[in-house]
């Protein structure tokens, strides 16, 4: 079978939308855009480059097949792909940052005191007014809901599904937990 070495942007669009030479076009785009992904991702993270390339290429192919990209727009195919790859990479970075923040938060060994307010501590003992200490005064369910909502940016519906609750219950619980956190902060 004849394998074409290069394709014009219009040939790529036509081929993908009509379902012709999809494998050849995909192989061509993979070779063509691999160096672009290497530019997007810092050298120390090049192990993630192939994942970003594949996910970005799949997104690009879907955008072309669905008509979201055409060569009459302002962006060239390279610029469009670069933007997709950069967004995929930034999503990975944000996810890793949230995971690291969560791991750091839970790696600190501060005993929880679910039923003790800061004012009920014995006298002579210095009060720990750090944010983490105050946060740990909340119950485990409150901590989990707040972390999922604010750090991991989960929706109320996603949290409800994860915690096997209704969305209304999660909203009410989140509101109460935030009120409790606020009152703990104001008590200090």
Per-residue pLDDT of 6-22, as tens digits, reads: 888 888 888 888 888 88
C-alpha span between 129 and 184 (Å, rounded): 10
Per-residue pLDDT of 144-182, as tens digits, reads: 998 888 888 888 899 999 889 998 998 999 989 888 888
Inter-residue contact 61 to 49 (CB < 8 Å): no
pLDDT at 87: 92
pTM for this model (two decimals): 0.54
pLDDT at 107: 60
C-alpha span between 163 and 174 (Å, rounded): 13
Domain extents in the chain: 9-100, 116-187
Q: Which CATH number fits domain 9-100: 1.10.10.10, 3.40.605.10, 3.40.47.10, 1.10.1740.10?
A: 1.10.1740.10
* CA dist list (Å): 38 to 35, 41, 53, 163: 5, 5, 9, 39
Please tell me the class of the 116-187 domain: mainly alpha
The one-character DSSP state at 131 is H
């Amino acid at each position: 079978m004849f394998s074409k070495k290069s394709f014009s942007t219009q040939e790529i669009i036509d081929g993908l939308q009509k379902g012709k030479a999809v494998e050849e076009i995909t192989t061509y785009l993979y070779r063509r855009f691999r160096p672009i992904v290497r530019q997007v991702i810092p050298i120390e993270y090049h192990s993630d480059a192939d994942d970003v390339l594949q996910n970005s290429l799949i997104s690009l192919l879907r955008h072309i097949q669905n008509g979201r990209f055409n060569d009459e727009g302002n962006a060239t195919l390279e610029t469009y792909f670069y933007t997709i790859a950069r967004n995929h990479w930034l999503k990975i970075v944000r996810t890793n940052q949230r995971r690291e923040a969560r791991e750091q938060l839970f790696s600190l060994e501060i005993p929880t005191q679910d039923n003790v307010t800061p004012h009920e501590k014995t006298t002579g003992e210095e009060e720990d007014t750090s944010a983490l200490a105050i946060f740990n005064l909340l119950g485990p369910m409150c901590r989990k809901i707040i972390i999922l909502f604010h750090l991991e940016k989960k929706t109320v519906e996603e949290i409800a599904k994860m915690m096997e609750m209704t969305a209304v219950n999660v909203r009410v619980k989140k509101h109460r937990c935030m009120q409790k956190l606020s009152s703990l902060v104001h008590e200090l």
